[in-house]
Structure 1
Amino acid sequence: MSDHHHAHNHLPQDTRQTVRRVLWLTLGLNLFVMGLKWIIGALTGSLSLQADALHSFTDSANNVLGLFANRFSSPEPDRDHPYGHQKFEAIGALGIAMFLGIACFEILQGAIAKLFIGQSETNISLNELSWLVLVLGINIFVAFYERNIGRKINSPILLADAKHTMGDIWVTLLVMFGLLGVWQAKVWGLPQFQWLDIILAFPVAALVFYSAWEVLTDNLPWLVDETAIAPEAIHQHVMAIPGVINCHDIASRGLLGRQVFIEMHLITTAEDVTTAHAITEAVEAKLKNIYAPARIMVHVEPRPYISDHIALDGYIDKSSYN
């Protein structure tokens, strides 16, 4: 029983409750921000602000997606998902990246159309600009709040969301700068400033695209079972354990710090199963200490199976040995 209990300590904690609370709160704030930007964008005819509203729309979509993924991504294994459910969260993050890509395309399309069709007037008043300051304040709060809690509980969905909201802060600053220019264009009689609004739609789109790319590269290794830890590093730790003669065919997957799965073949000095088991327990304890949360599978083999294949590249099937 104690052994079973010991294994459970190394499961990632279930932080879904906290994640859900954060996501609901930020969803409310993001919807408010999106509505405000869209209304001001429509009133003033500002393309960069409408693009920014689209950016905020993806923020809200992310929250909804996050809540959806959160319902399914329990780290606890069950009968149907013996390796836990955390890939659901990574799939959620991929959906976020897809949303961002689409939003990016929409923004560029609108900006290019306006450049070719010619400029429609953008009118902005100080009143509308002051509302944008409030929007900025909310964005800054959401980003730092999510990032803090995301780091504290190590939640990929909160960190991806916070990263996106951080992008939102810069975008809103850029757009405000452009609209200040448009507002001043009237005062100074500089019609060139009218173009600022359209020109700024391009960097806004680029920022949206960049955040999509970052979310993708953070989550793909987890989904395609990329090697989580260099086999040589694991080999070095295992070989240092008394009683280990050889360790080969080491594989790992998952994401370090989130959850890793490690497997290996081991040859020990032990003559009986009980002693061999004690050595594998020492191997598991050491690796869990270094790479937790981790689930480790050790396959003990007899002496003739000694191999110098540390990793699984150039994999040789043992059953074909004579």
Structure 2
Amino acid sequence: MSEAQGRRRASRQVLLASLWMTLLVLAVKVWIGWVTQSLSLVAESLHTLIDSFSILLSVISISSMGSSGREVWGHGRLEATMALMLVAFLGFACLNLLAISAGQLEAIVSNSPELLSVRINPPLLQVLAVVMAISFCIASFELYQARVLESTALRFNANHLLQDSWLMILVLAGLVGVWRGYTWIDPVLAMVMVVAAAISCWRVFNRQLPSLMRQIAIAPEALAQTIHQVEGITHCYAIQSRGIVGRQVFVEMRLILHPECMGIARTIAERVERVIRERYGPARVVIYIDSNEQKG
């Protein structure tokens, strides 16, 4: 148990560091996008915003494990409200970016004086290249720590940061083209980034949805019946579950073992986790082992 807690603590620290760096990258992208009036860079910043929110949800989820007053592995109303606000903002931003990009393309075709001028220069391109390199470093660091700490949350967020970095390469190449006079690249890339942002948002919420669910996923009686299939368990109680059966279920429980089985408590915990997964599909289980004396 102490080893698992140490891994969760380390994962939380890595996620917090990644969140801080990702927010810094987001601020730089938004600032340069505003200064240069680049629609593609602003649209790509939406990906970084989604990544930041995903990391924040993972931090809250890991921090809530085993803490008093919190539901098991779940997010509260504040996090659900934040998710709804993010979706609303992304919808508004994406629709506006699509409309502006379409208007820009029309202005380019008709040589309209209302055409926005993307003010890009080599120093700004160099800053964006540094930002892109920082994103790659953050993602690589998370991937390495995900293997060391065996953290699915780190692996998931690292993959999304890598996707964001590859998209940034595409935008950087497009801005080089705009600097050389191909102004149509910026609005076209902005449309592509908006579509990619919608897909990225769906993937994040598809991954985080089970932990946002607050209702009981599995009846405690049914879980208790499944758990008692494992030998050596005399009693199980304080059973909680959240999530979606078949997608991802988060389970927490306390077990009392037969005194002769205390030496193989870790093996019994692994068996319990295995039977839950075999019965209900993907599951993440937190088990606390009590002694008969503690129960009494």
> TM-score, length-normalised on structure 1?
0.59
Offset at 1:49? 0.8
Three-state SS of the structure 1 residue aligned to 2:184 is helix
Equivalent residue, structure 2, for 1:221: 210
Instruction: Pick one of 93, 106, 120 that aligns with 1:106.
Output: 93
Aligned length: 256
Query: Secondary structure at the residue paired with 1:75?
Result: coil
Deviation at 1:238, TM superposition (A): 3.8
Stretch of structure 1 that moved more, 159-168 or 40-49: 159-168
User: What aligned pairs does 1:1-322 form with structure 2 within 5 A after superposition?
Assistant: 9=1, 12-13=4-5, 15-63=7-55, 67=59, 69=60, 73-76=63-66, 78=68, 80=69, 85-88=72-75, 92=79, 95=82, 99=86, 102-103=89-90, 105-116=92-103, 118=107, 119-155=115-151, 157-184=153-180, 186=181, 193-222=182-211, 223=213, 225-226=216-217, 238=229, 253=241, 260=251, 288-290=269-271, 291=273, 293=285, 295=287
254-263 or 117-126, larger mean C-alpha shift: 254-263
Q: Is the 8 A contact 1:13 1:75 kept in 2?
A: no
> Tell me, what secondary structure is at the counterpart of 2:120?
coil
Alpha-carbon deviations, 1:107-139, whole Å to 9, x = none?
341231242363412232233222221111011
* Alpha-carbon distance in structure 1 between the residues aligned to 2:150 and 2:74: 15
Provide closer, same or farther for how the CA distance between residues 154 and 220 of structure 1 changes in structure 2, counting only shifts above 3 A: farther
Shift of 1:77: 6.0
Distance 1:204 1:94, change over 3 A: farther
* Shift in CA distance, 37/151, structure 1 to aligned 2, threshold 3 Å: same
State the Cα distance separating 1:151 from its structure 2 match. Answer: 4.6
Classify 1:62/1:214 alpha carbon distance in 2 versus 1 (closer, same or farther; 3 Å).
closer
Aligned partners of 2:216 and 2:242 also within 8 Å: yes
Report the Cα distance in structure 2 between the residues aligned to 1:258 and 1:153, rounded to whole angstroms.
Answer: 21
Task: Give the distance between the partners of 1:109 and 1:123, measured in 2 at CA.
Answer: 21
Distance (Å, rounded) in 2 between the aligned partners of 1:170 and 1:13:
34
AA in 2 matched with 1:50: V
Which structure has the higher relative contact order (CA within 8 Å, separation 6+)? 2
Q: Deviations over 1:173-212 (max 9, x none)?
A: 221122122123x2xxxxxx31211111122122222222
Against the structure 1 CA distance between its residues 252 and 88, is the aligned structure 2 distance closer, same or farther, given a 3 Å change threshold?
closer
Q: Which amino acid aligns with 1:23?
A: L
Question: Is the contact made by 1:48 and 1:204 (CA closer than 8 Å) also made in structure 2?
Answer: yes
Compute the RMSD of aligned alpha carbons. Answer: 4.8
Distance 1:238 1:92, change over 3 A: same
Change (3 A) 1:50 1:96: same
Q: Which moved more, 1:154-163 or 1:136-145?
A: 154-163
From the superposition, tell whether residues 217 and 257 of structure 1 become closer, same or farther in structure 2 (CA, over 3 Å).
closer
Give how far 1:106 is off. Answer: 0.4
Instruction: Give the C-alpha shift of residue 57 in structure 1.
Output: 3.8
Structure 1 residue 12: Cα displacement = 4.8
Stretch moving more, 43-52 or 151-160: 151-160
State the 1:47 CA deviation.
Answer: 0.5
The superposition leaves residues 250-285 of structure 1 with CA deviations (integer Å, 9 ceiling, x where unpaired) of: x9955799953589xxxxxxxxxxxxx79x99xx98
Paired with 2:163 and 2:45, the residues of 1 have a C-alpha distance of: 13
TM-score normalised per structure 2? 0.63
Amino acid at match of 1:36: V
Unmatched runs of 5 consecutive residues or more in structure 2 = 108-114, 233-238, 275-284, 289-296
For residues 29 and 126 of structure 1, the distance between their equivalents in structure 2, rounded to whole angstroms, comes to 24
- Provide closer, same or farther for how the CA distance between residues 98 and 172 of structure 1 changes in structure 2, counting only shifts above 3 A: farther
One-letter amino acid matched to 1:288: A
Cα 1:213–1:101 shift into 2, 3 Å: farther
SS of residue paired to 2:32: helix
For the residues of structure 1 that align with 2:66 and 2:217, how far apart are their CA atoms? 21
